[in-house]
Amino acid sequence: MGDAVVRALDGVDLVIGKGEFVAVMGPSGSGKSTLLNLLGCLDRPDQGQYLLDGQDVASLHDDELSALRSARLGFIFQSFNLIQSLNVVQNIGLPLVYGDCDPAEAEARSRKLAARVGLTDRCSHRPMELSGGQQQRVAIARSLANNPVIILADEPTGNLDSRTGNEIMALLAELHAEGRTIVMVTHEDDIAAKAQRVVTMRDGRVQHDTGVRS
Amino acid sequence: MTRFLRIARIGSEGLKLHPLRSLLTALGIIIGVGTVIYMLAVIEGRGAEIQERIKARGSNNIILRARKPQDDTKASATRSREVVYGLTYEDARRIHDTFKEVDVLVPVRDVASAVYNGDARSDTVTMATVPWYLDVSRGSLQHGRWFTDLEMSDATPVAVLGATLARSLFLWKDPVGASVRIGSKVYAIIGVLEATVTSDERESLKRDRAAYIPLTTVRERFGERNVKTATGSMDIERVELHEIILQVKDAKDVVSISEGVRTMLARFHTNEDYEIDVPLALLEEAQRESNKAKQLFGSIAAISLLVGGIGIMNIMLASVTERTREIGIRRALGARRSDITLQFLVETLILSVAGGIIGIVCGISAAALHEQFVTDSHTMVTAMSVVLAFGISAFVGVLAGLYPAVRASAMDPIEALRHE
């Protein structure tokens, strides 16, 4: 078992265009999370290429990957991944610490984003004091802090009831409408149905790709 | 605000999350640094006290003293006899002629004879010496004057009294102009000395209780004999000089001259009826002892700082594990490895530096309390010990923080994000 090479992704050939809203589906172990990690520059392929804006990520240094994440990418996680010791505004402003942003400017920006996701009166609350839906909205606001062109969402509605899930999807749709590229992993059909394009994976391969639907 | 400062601020805020834990973590450093400061202050204070005491005897001086040799013929000896020992005028002359580096040579002859003012009597030592004794012994006159070269050469019967002696014989009256009887002869009092302020109590006591007369006078009036009568026996001692104080021009010659003098005296004295006291050698010895003590306590303190450092490292490792997920989040949001390293390093650095500062305050307070509550003690906090303690604590902080910080930054962000 230990010696066996597990190919989490194998022969995936995928092009995602600028401004697309893509849902990646598939059973657990199908490689969809690995794909998202690759797209998010958290991981590098052992073989093959990932071109982000024509740049081969595999050849980049760790610090350059960090810089790329900081400048281009926004992350939304299933379990929100907010830092418990920070309040809402501080959580939203987190990516700005690692971008080049003055703290005063960062706070103003974070407050604006908190307002945008409807959390104006929750600014100084800690994540623990918020509902799941509110936490995910903080996470979405955070993913927007550095104004990224690509947003990667890993089962953003997985921990939410369907009503709050729909609210979150509405927010994502809004971001898509602004021209951002969104790649979302989900295993719920009705959530995937809200995307433009659905890529279904199985055993590390792309099993089905709907292409961009209008 | 630079990226560096922004990230350093995250580190400092991390500490505020667990104030008690931070305090306990820093406690190791606080105690370590406090102990260093306190111990060194006590050692330094004690050393300075000893050095001052030795310096009061003159660090450029070599003091030769007559010593009664061990009596090995006691059983066969008669009850009344004459013992000849001690330093001689010839010794003084030879030393003066041989060692050009010796600036001043002060011979002293002790006369064991009571001093009287009418019926008031004081059993004391009269020191017969030379006009320049006062300078070499660093004494000063309360009033009156010291005897002159002329009085010396004329063997004039004049005396200067030590402060205590003057008080005991004359109470509150001014002794200058009056006279005292020493043995059977009368001396005019020409001056009274200021009480001695050396920290060597025995020496001060002797000087303050003595009467001082010209050396020539004593030769003329007493000869070289000292007669001591005890019940049933009479000891006659024949001593020319009890003490010779040599003042050397340059402190660096002191030790070599003392060795030369030792060799010379050994050649002319059949038995060792003298001793050589070199305050500078004692001073150097005291300094060596003090340094040894410092090294010993320094190593103890270093161990306690090491323990403090391990405490910090332990907590930081736990903290890194506890915050694995936070590290993953930060990495995903654009933090570089070096940002994570810095964040945790700043935490330990603040812990150890703040611990160091608190420790310094504690150490200085402890030294002050020591001086207050332990009688007859001096403590001395030197800038050196503060700098040293602070430097070590900062160094320990960085060292203890480096491994946990590097471990935090080396985490795979994906793994870290999955961490529960």
Q: Chain B within 8 Å of A165 (Cβ-Cβ)?
A: no
Report the pLDDT averaged over residues A143-170.
Answer: 92
In this structure, the strands spanning B179-182 and B115-117 are antiparallel
Q: Chain A within 8 Å of B337 (Cβ-Cβ)?
A: yes
Q: Is A103 within 8 Å of B336 when comparing Cβ atoms?
A: no
Long-range contacts of B264-268 (CB under 8 A, 24+ apart): B264/B94, B264/B95, B264/B98, B265/B64, B265/B91, B268/B90, B268/B91, B268/B94
The answer to whether residue A79 sits within a structural domain is yes
Report the pLDDT averaged over residues A187-197.
Answer: 91
Strand stretches in chain A, DSSP E: 21-25, 51-52, 55-56, 73-76, 150-154, 181-185, 197-202, 205-209
Report the pLDDT averaged over residues A57-79.
Answer: 91
The answer to whether residue A196 sits within a structural domain is yes
Q: Is A43 within 8 Å of B1 when comparing Cβ atoms?
A: no
Examine the pLDDT at B67 and tell me if it is beyond 90: no
Q: What tokens were used for B166?
A: 């003057």
CA-nearest of A90, A67, A59 to B336 is A67
CATH number of the domain to which A32 belongs:
3.40.50.300
Give the nearest partner residue to A98 out of B334, B413, B417, using CB atoms.
Answer: B334
Q: Chain A within 8 Å of B7 (Cβ-Cβ)?
A: yes
Instruction: Say how far apart CA B224 and CA B80 lie, in whole Å.
Output: 17
The answer to whether residue A171 sits within a structural domain is yes
Q: What value does the mean pLDDT of chain B take? A: 85
CA distance A156 to chain B (A): 15
Examine the pLDDT at B69 and tell me if it is beyond 90: no
ipTM of the modeled complex: 0.93
Q: Is B337 within 8 Å of A62 when comparing Cβ atoms?
A: yes
Instruction: Say how far apart CA B365 and CA B382 lie, in whole Å.
Output: 14
The answer to whether residue A130 sits within a structural domain is no
Q: Is A67 within 8 Å of B326 when comparing Cβ atoms?
A: no
Q: Is A63 within 8 Å of B6 when comparing Cβ atoms?
A: no
The backbone region for A133, taken as left when phi is positive above 0, alpha when psi lies in -120 to 50, beta otherwise, is alpha
Q: For residue B270, report the phi and psi dihedrals to the nearest 5 degrees.
A: -75, -40
Instruction: Say how far apart CA B401 and CA B388 lie, in whole Å.
Output: 20
pLDDT level of residue B306 (50, 70, 90 thresholds): confident
Q: Chain B within 8 Å of A95 (Cβ-Cβ)?
A: yes
Q: Chain A within 8 Å of B326 (Cβ-Cβ)?
A: yes
The answer to whether residue A180 sits within a structural domain is yes
Q: Is B417 within 8 Å of A77 when comparing Cβ atoms?
A: yes
Give the nearest partner residue to B333 out of A98, A100, A102, using CB atoms.
Answer: A98
Helices (H), ranges, B181-253: 201-209, 215-222
Q: Chain A within 8 Å of B318 (Cβ-Cβ)?
A: no
Q: Between residues B84 and A205, which one has the greater pLDDT?
A: A205
Percent of chain B past pLDDT 90, that is, above it, reads 20
The answer to whether residue A199 sits within a structural domain is yes
Which region among A89-98, A175-184, A186-195, B268-277 has the lowest average model confidence (pLDDT)?
A: B268-277
Examine the pLDDT at B332 and tell me if it is beyond 90: yes
pLDDT level of residue B18 (50, 70, 90 thresholds): confident
Instruction: Say how far apart CA B233 and CA B83 lie, in whole Å.
Output: 13
Q: Is B7 within 8 Å of A77 when comparing Cβ atoms?
A: no
CA-nearest of B115, B114, B116, B96 to B106 is B96
The answer to whether residue A75 sits within a structural domain is yes
Cβ–Cβ pairs < 8 A, chains A and B: 63
What confidence score (pLDDT) does residue B235 get?
67
Number of separate domains in chain A: 1
The backbone region for A102, taken as left when phi is positive above 0, alpha when psi lies in -120 to 50, beta otherwise, is beta
Q: Which of A148-152, B95-99, B215-219, B243-247 shows the highest mean pLDDT?
A: A148-152
Contacts (Cβ under 8 Å, ≥6 apart) of B102: B95, B96, B246, B247, B248, B249, B257
Instruction: Say how far apart CA B185 and CA B213 lie, in whole Å.
Output: 12
Which region among A85-99, B65-79, B264-278 has the lowest average model confidence (pLDDT)?
A: B65-79
Give the nearest partner residue to B1 out of A69, A95, A102, using CB atoms.
Answer: A102
Examine the pLDDT at B72 and tell me if it is beyond 60: no
pLDDT level of residue B76 (50, 70, 90 thresholds): very low
Tell me B133's DSSP state. Answer: H
Residue of B nearest to A67 (CA): B334
Task: Give residue-wise pLDDT tens across range A103-130.
Answer: 899 999 999 999 999 999 999 999 999 9
Examine the pLDDT at B79 and tell me if it is beyond 60: no
Residue of A nearest to B337 (CA): A63
Strand stretches in B87-210, DSSP E: 102-112, 115-117, 120-122, 125-129, 141-144, 158-161, 179-182, 185-193
B164, B208 Cβ separation under 8 angstroms: yes
Q: Chain A within 8 Å of B329 (Cβ-Cβ)?
A: yes
Range of the domain at A58: 21-85+147-209
The residues that bridge with B122 in the sheet, in sequence order, are B115
CA distance A123 to chain B (A): 18
